[in-house]
Amino acid sequence: MSQGPILELRGINKSFGPVQVLHDVAFSVYPGEVTALVGDNGAGKSTLVKCIGGIHPIDSGEYLFEGERVHVSGPRDAAVLGVEIVYQDLALCDNLDIVQNMFLGRERKSGLVLDEDTMEEMAAKTLAGLSVRTVKSLRQHVSSLSGGQRQTVAIAKAVLWNSKVVILDEPTAALGVAQTAQVLELVRRLADRGLAVVLISHNMNDVFAVSDRIAALYLGRMAAEVKTSEVTHAQIVELITSGRSGELGLKNGNGAAS
């Protein structure tokens, strides 16, 4: 358990024009663990994740991966490190099929030509590995899939690569009970495989069911990073809504970082 974080952010600031969305945020992610990232709507969770994924450049702060300072300036940099993100707004191309989406930007080629067969096999294997059984054909357009199926494709896309960190931005928000359970089970399995998993969710039951750690963002500030076993539902809810809970959280309820 004394393993250090695989991904660590320190003092991250991020503004969109005049609006500062992230203030001096610190965030650590550990291999083999599920870290839940919680916070109210607009707290900055998705923004933080997009900074990690290289979608938004950070204004200032340190980005450490496996203890080394790295510079992530685009999605490819993140992918090279082994950081994969399933975005809240999924980011799939409706006009492409499942296999094409899963390999988008990282197509398998033999020479100049796309190696469709290998890609299809790998996609099938990955989906089977996630025990996905609801997709009729791997060659159907993503536009014809249900919300849950799209989510599964997006997750499969993230785990297809030998990724080390998988970040899921509200993967269960649009899912029914059964599919939610499946995704959570999947999240747990990924962590048990040794991956570092970050799960963003508004559902406290889900968070407590699968996470090892919880990080709570409050108005763009990291209110607390705690072990799940050491806190209660109520404490987390308090952290989310007011940024503090007893000894935990931001010292000054409304702002300045602790």
Ligand X SMILES: Nc1ncnc2c1ncn2[C@@H]1O[C@H](COP(=O)(O)OP(=O)(O)OP(=O)(O)O)[C@@H](O)[C@H]1O
Task: Name the residues that contact Mg ion, by CB under 5 A.
Answer: 45-46, 88
The stretch among 26-34, 44-52, 189-197, 241-249 that binds ligand X (CB under 6 A) is 44-52
Answer yes or no whether residue 114 interacts with another protein by CB under 8 A: yes
Answer yes or no whether residue 58 interacts with ligand X by CB under 6 A: no
In angstroms, the CA 62 to CA 97 distance is 38
Site string for another protein, 21-60 (x = CB under 8 A): --------------------------------x-x-----
Answer yes or no whether residue 110 interacts with another protein by CB under 8 A: no
Q: What are 68's strand-pairing partners?
A: 65
Answer yes or no whether residue 176 interacts with another protein by CB under 8 A: no
Q: Binds 44, which of Mg ion, ligand X, another protein, none (CB < 5 to 8 A, cut-off by type)?
A: ligand X
CB of 84 or CB of 169, closer to ligand X: 169
CB of 58 or CB of 86, closer to Mg ion: 86
Sequence-distant (≥ 6) Cβ neighbours of residue 258 within 8 angstroms = 249, 250, 251
- C-alpha distances (whole Å) from 22 to each of 12, 70, 171, 242 are 7, 19, 22, 17
Nearest residue to 199 (alpha-carbon basis) of 83, 64, 86, 77: 86
Please report how close the Cβ of residue 170 comes to another protein at its closest, in angstroms: 16
Residues 9-28 that bind ligand X (CB under 6 A): 16, 19, 21
Residue 3, classed as helix, strand or coil, is coil
Single-letter amino acid, residue 220:
G
Q: What are 110's strand-pairing partners?
A: 113
Residue 154, classed as helix, strand or coil, is helix
Token duo for residue 40: 């109210």
In angstroms, the CA 134 to CA 183 distance is 13
Contact residues toward another protein (CB under 8 A) are 53, 55, 74-76, 79, 85, 87, 90-96, 100, 104-107, 109, 112-114, 117, 120-121, 124, 127-128, 132-139, 141, 143-144
Contact residues toward ligand X (CB under 6 A) are 16, 19, 21, 39, 41-47, 88
